[in-house]
Structure 1
C-alpha cells in the first residue's frame, strides 16, 4: 500500500534544527534514489521483455525506493523528515515532488503486477514507466540539490557561530591581558609584599595565553583546506 501524500496538517509548522551529519545522510539517501529509479525502470523493461530474474530485482529496488521516500518525507527514529520550508516547497509546492514520486511508485507496482501475470497490458505499462524515467531523474536531482543547499546553510551558520565565539574570546582575552599587566605593575610597586600577588598575576597570564591558543585553534579549524590543482 502506498501512503497518501502528506497534507498541511502533517507538515511541521516550524523548521527543525538538523545536524550536518544528519543532512549528509539525507544527501546520500536522496542520491541513491536517483540510481534506484533508473534500476526500477530498466528491470521493469527487461521483465516485460521476458527476463525472469528482472522482475524480482525490480520489486526489490522498488521496495527500497518506496521505503526511502517515506523516510525522507515522514522521517523515522533517526531522520527528521521534511525539516525546513525550502524542502516543504520542493516536496509539496509547485514541483509536487512527493505526489509525482508516489505516482511513479504506484505505476511501477502496477507494471510489475501486470508483467507477473503476463497481462496483455504489461508492455504498455512498462512503456509508460519508461516515459517517466528522465523527468523523474531530473526531479530527484533537484531534491538532492535541495539537501546539499541545506548542508551549505548549516556550514555557513557554524562558521558564523565560530567567528562570533572567537571574537568574544578575543575581547575577553584582551581585557584579561590588560588586567594581568596592570596587576604585575602593581605587584612590582608593592615590593616584597607583592610576591604572592605576583604569583596570582602569573597564573592569570598563563590563563590568557591558553585562551589565545584556544582562539587560534577555533580559527584554524574553520579555515578551508587548500585545494589540489
Structure 2
C-alpha cells in the first residue's frame, strides 16, 4: 500500500495541474484520488499500531521520527486540498499555490519512499519469522516420521515372528510404512519451499 501512495501522489499532482487548466472532470478526479490517498495514509499509520512492538517501532520511526514521513505527507495532503479549493473558487493566488505544490513533489516522494522502505523491512522480518516457524514444523514432522518408521519396522518384525497369526498385523505395519514414506515426501517438499537443502 505504501508503494501505491507514491503513484497516487503523482496522479493527484497531474490531475490538479490539469484541473487548473480548466479540465472540470480532473478536479473531481483529483478530489477522489485525494480521498483515497488520505484513507490509505490513515491505514498505513494504523498498521503500525497493529504490529508487534519491535515491528511497530520501524513504522513509528518512519512516520514520526526526526526524518518521519508523516508530517511531510500530512502537509502534502493539506496543500493538495487547499490547491483544489482555490481551483474550484478560481482564486487568483492558485498559480502560486500550484507551483509550490509541484515544487514539493520530490520531498513527498522521498517521504513516501522512506515509508515504503519501512514496510519492506517489516515484510522481510515477517517472512523470515514465518520461514523459521515453518522450518521448526518440518523438523517436528520429520521427528514424528522417524518414530513412525521405527514403530512400523518393529511391527513388521513382530508380524513376521507371529507367522500366520501376524498377517493382519503385517497389513497395518505396511500401511504405516506407506504413510511414513508419504510424510517423508511431503517433508522434502516443505524443506525445498523453505530454501533448505
Q: Give me the TM-score of the superposition, normalised by structure 2.
A: 0.82
Establish whether residue 33 from structure 1 lines up as the match of residue 33 from structure 2: no
Q: 1:211 is matched with which residue? A: 183
Establish whether residue 133 from structure 1 lines up as the match of residue 105 from structure 2: yes
Between the aligned partners of 1:174 and 1:155, the Cα distance in structure 2 is: 28
Structure 1: where are the runs of 5+ without partners? 1-28, 225-229
Aligned residue-pair number = 192
For the aligned residue pairs, the C-alpha RMSD in angstroms reads: 2.5
Q: 1:67 is matched with which residue? A: 39
Cα gap change, 1:49 to 1:183, in 2 (>3 Å): closer
Between the aligned partners of 1:57 and 1:156, the Cα distance in structure 2 is: 40
Between the aligned partners of 2:98 and 2:104, the Cα distance in structure 1 is: 10
Establish whether residue 163 from structure 1 lines up as the match of residue 163 from structure 2: no
- Deviation, structure 1 residue 49: 4.6
Q: 2:154 is matched with which residue? A: 182
Q: 1:124 is matched with which residue? A: 96
Q: 1:106 is matched with which residue? A: 78
- Deviation, structure 1 residue 50: 4.7
Q: 1:201 is matched with which residue? A: 173
Which segments of structure 1 move beyond 4 Å, counting only runs of 4 or more? 49-53
Between the aligned partners of 1:118 and 1:34, the Cα distance in structure 2 is: 28
- Deviation, structure 1 residue 81: 6.2
Q: Deviations over 1:16-49 (max 9, x none)?
A: xxxxxxxxxxxxx222211121222233334445
Q: Give me the TM-score of the superposition, normalised by structure 1.
A: 0.72
Cα gap change, 1:193 to 1:54, in 2 (>3 Å): closer
Between the aligned partners of 1:65 and 1:124, the Cα distance in structure 2 is: 23
Q: Deviations over 1:71-111 (max 9, x none)?
A: 22236xxxx86632211221122222222211111111112
Contact 2:3 2:116 in 1 (8 A): yes
Q: Deviations over 1:118-164 (max 9, x none)?
A: 32322221122112100101111222222222222222222222221
- Pairing 1:40-59 to 2, within 5 Å after superposition: 40-59=12-31
Larger fraction in helix = 2
Structure 2: where are the runs of 5+ without partners? none
